[in-house]
Structure 1
Amino acid sequence: MTIIAAFNSDAIAVHDPSPKPLIDPVRLQALLGEARGRFDIDSLPECASTSTVLLGRAAQGAPGGSVIVTDRQTAGRGSRGRCWLASPEASLTFSVLWRFNNGVGRLAGLSLAVGVAVVHALEAFGAKGVQLKWPNDILYDNAKLGGILVELQSEAHSALAVVGIGLNLSMPETIGDGAGFALPPAAVDRILTPVPERHALFAQILIELASKFDRFSNGGFAELRDQWQARHAWQGRSVRLLRDGLLEKEGICRGADADGALLVQTASGVERCLSGDLSLRVQ
């Protein structure tokens, strides 16, 4: 913003040093179609973690549909406490607060449903070959395109979810040493050329999220299971299931159950796994 002040008949330009965020909430609302009004969007140039900020606002009574998007996330939280830096222009990083009438126990598989929403949004722009890895990764060509982190809190007769999503739009200039990350990175610019305009892509993701949240509220993950299975990257593949870095199970991946549990066919039969760090190994 430039402020013009009058002084002795001369115009003096004073430049506002605060950066403008890349996402304009007003412009974004205009692209939401029927979902307009279901989201309250706050765009920040920088924050430590969109999910941390949104959880704080939830504690103060922020409504469902609150969204925080940032250009630069300096301490983003991933699964199992992993952290990363998101750079402006190269990524789309945001969190969404949603309130569900069901209790936390009825929200199993929500991260899988969110994955379906993100893939559907990319497919709306013509993307092909985007897949999902249980429970929270978005893949392309066996590389990580994005990630999802769902944090749940109980409320009286209901529950709230803060859904954090990070999506690589282009490859970052520096990725670091990659320590602790099992998959190489991928980016939308490998799939779609040109990359969809940032507001249009973000609006489409929010539209899909509202639709999937509605379906999930009605019937849980079972409502979206077939769509997730159709995009499951490791269906029928040999996998090892690690917990805290230690091998817990290995076998053939059979997808997800109606409540989002991973199904692994082991020597003892098909077993349900509710949490863990799934990594693929060729046997």
Structure 2
Amino acid sequence: MASEQLLSVLADGEFHSGEELGGLLGVSRAAVWKQLQKLEELSLSIEAQKGRGYRVVGGLDLLSRELIAQHTDQALQAILEGMDIFGVLDSTNLQAAKRIAMGPAHQYCCTAEQQTAGRGRRGRQWLSPFGRSLYCSLVWEFSNGAAALEGLSLCIGVAVANALSEADVDGISLKWPNDVLLDGKKLGGILLEMQGDPAGVCQVIIGVGLNMQLQEVDSTVVTQPWADLSAYPIGSDRNRMLALLLNALFAALTQYSRQGFSPFRDQWLALDAFRGQSVKVQLGEEWLFGTEDGVNPDGGLRLITDSGVRVFHGGEVSLREVC
């Protein structure tokens, strides 16, 4: 498509004249202008200067299978070959669900430059600007149904933290059950969705989103403190970050399939953002107050209250720090 060709040229962040762009695309300058207007619909900042042409402010690090492969473990090459890379997509999790509907999809993976219907936990909107963050989903098959979900989001959180450590990112912590924090602010999130038999063979869609560079993005729709990776070298290398993430996810899921959450518990506890702190847990319209005491062996949140220790699992439970 002409818009994709145009993006590949403007991704370098340099100025390109309308004549140059028209020649590369084989269209008129008027047609180039129409394509540029379409790019602005993606919330990209397009700068025009007389005598110099047009550029995408700050450039773009577009996803590339070849670049991702340079940093991906050999064991993941088959996954990478079958991975779908989309431009604009409603949601990578929704795409993964469509793929499952077509038949077994174990280890299917997809990613996108932008999501138009990205979702966080409890149906919240996930800010998904074009080419500025990572959004990916991976399908993994389990044989024990809903029981496979116990502690799985925490295992994935550890995997994401490991990938960020490989990228030399400091200050990472985890908030139960599925938030990744950088210096106490939300950097990423995890969304798990199960398809199949709740008591038998099922496929779990593992969605991960990471903020990479949001400086040029209107983030006023975000209702909580957020962070991105713009202060780190990896912040401008989405392909390497995605490769590191896939490496870590594959290793963690392979081990989790054999041993469950137990091997990951100690590392999760070491990364627990609120352990020993005063927190409140929401159950429907009710708030319970207490001290967060890590997680039990199957990943349930432990809360020390005046009436004793309470243990909570995922679903509609929400955890907040008491300020």
- The normalised TM-score by structure 1 is 0.87
Amino acid across the alignment from 1:233:
A
User: Structure 1 residues 99-108 or 212-221, which shifts more?
Assistant: 99-108
Amino acid across the alignment from 1:171:
L
Residue 154 (structure 1) aligned with residue 193 (structure 2)? no
Name the residue aligned to 1:114: 156
In structure 2, what is the Cα distance between the partners aligned to 1:55 and 1:81? 16
Name the residue aligned to 1:185: 226
Q: Write the deviation string for residues 210-232 of structure 1: whole angstroms up to 9, x where unpaired.
A: 11101111111112011111111
In structure 2, what is the Cα distance between the partners aligned to 1:12 and 1:81? 42
Residue 100 (structure 1) aligned with residue 142 (structure 2)? yes
Q: Are 2:114 and 2:131, in contact at CA under 8 Å, matched by a contact in 1?
A: no
SS in 2 for 1:63: coil
Aligned-residue offset at 1:239: 0.4
Amino acid across the alignment from 1:253:
E
1:14 to 20, 26, 30: 26
In structure 2, what is the Cα distance between the partners aligned to 1:108 and 1:142? 25
In structure 2, what is the Cα distance between the partners aligned to 1:255 and 1:36? 33
Greater radius of gyration (CA): 2
Runs of 4+ off more than 6 Å: 16-21
2:220 to 176, 179, 182: 176
In structure 1, what is the Cα distance between the partners aligned to 2:136 and 2:112? 6
Which is strand-richer, 1 or 2? Answer: 1
SS in 1 for 2:139: strand
Aligned-residue offset at 1:165: 0.9
Mapping of 1:8-157 within 5 angstroms? 14=26, 22-39=62-79, 40-155=82-197, 157=200
* Residue ranges of structure 1 left out of the alignment (5+ in a row): 4-10
Residues 194, 152 of structure 1: alpha-carbon distance in 2 compared, 3 angstrom cutoff: closer
SS in 1 for 2:258: helix
Q: Write the deviation string for residues 189-241 of structure 1: whole angstroms up to 9, x where unpaired.
A: 23x24525211111110010011101111111112011111111101010000
Q: How many residues align?
A: 270
Aligned-residue offset at 1:118: 0.7
Q: Are 1:134 and 1:262, in contact at CA under 8 Å, matched by a contact in 2?
A: yes
Name the residue aligned to 1:197: 237
Residues 12, 66 of structure 1: alpha-carbon distance in 2 compared, 3 angstrom cutoff: closer
Q: Write the deviation string for residues 233-276 of structure 1: whole angstroms up to 9, x where unpaired.
A: 101010000133x3332100011111111010111221110131
2:305 to 263, 266, 269: 266
Q: Are 1:104 and 1:158, in contact at CA under 8 Å, matched by a contact in 2?
A: no
Amino acid across the alignment from 1:14:
G
User: Structure 1 residues 46-55 or 58-67, which shifts more?
Assistant: 58-67
In structure 1, what is the Cα distance between the partners aligned to 2:190 and 2:276? 23
Which is helix-richer, 1 or 2? Answer: 2
Aligned-residue offset at 1:133: 0.2
SS in 1 for 2:85: strand
RMSD: 2.5
In structure 1, what is the Cα distance between the partners aligned to 2:128 and 2:155? 24
User: Structure 1 residues 110-119 or 58-67, which shifts more?
Assistant: 58-67
Aligned-residue offset at 1:48: 0.8
Residues 175, 13 of structure 1: alpha-carbon distance in 2 compared, 3 angstrom cutoff: closer
Q: Identity over aligned residues, as a percent?
A: 33
In structure 2, what is the Cα distance between the partners aligned to 1:141 and 1:101? 37
User: Structure 1 residues 169-178 or 259-268, which shifts more?
Assistant: 169-178
Name the residue aligned to 2:17: none
Q: Write the deviation string for residues 166-190 of structure 1: whole angstroms up to 9, x where unpaired.
A: 1001225211243xx4x31101123
- The normalised TM-score by structure 2 is 0.77
Q: Write the deviation string for residues 38-69 of structure 1: whole angstroms up to 9, x where unpaired.
A: 51211000011110111011111152111111
Q: Write the deviation string for residues 18-53 of structure 1: whole angstroms up to 9, x where unpaired.
A: 999921224323431233235121100001111011
User: Structure 1 residues 83-92 or 235-244, which shifts more?
Assistant: 83-92
Q: Write the deviation string for residues 100-158 of structure 1: whole angstroms up to 9, x where unpaired.
A: 23322132111111111111001012111100000110001221001110011234832
Q: Are 1:38 and 1:65, in contact at CA under 8 Å, matched by a contact in 2?
A: no
In structure 2, what is the Cα distance between the partners aligned to 1:164 and 1:105? 19
Q: Are 1:254 and 1:263, in contact at CA under 8 Å, matched by a contact in 2?
A: yes
Q: Are 2:86 and 2:111, in contact at CA under 8 Å, matched by a contact in 1?
A: yes
Residues 74, 12 of structure 1: alpha-carbon distance in 2 compared, 3 angstrom cutoff: closer
In structure 2, what is the Cα distance between the partners aligned to 1:105 and 1:170? 36
Residue 278 (structure 1) aligned with residue 278 (structure 2)? no
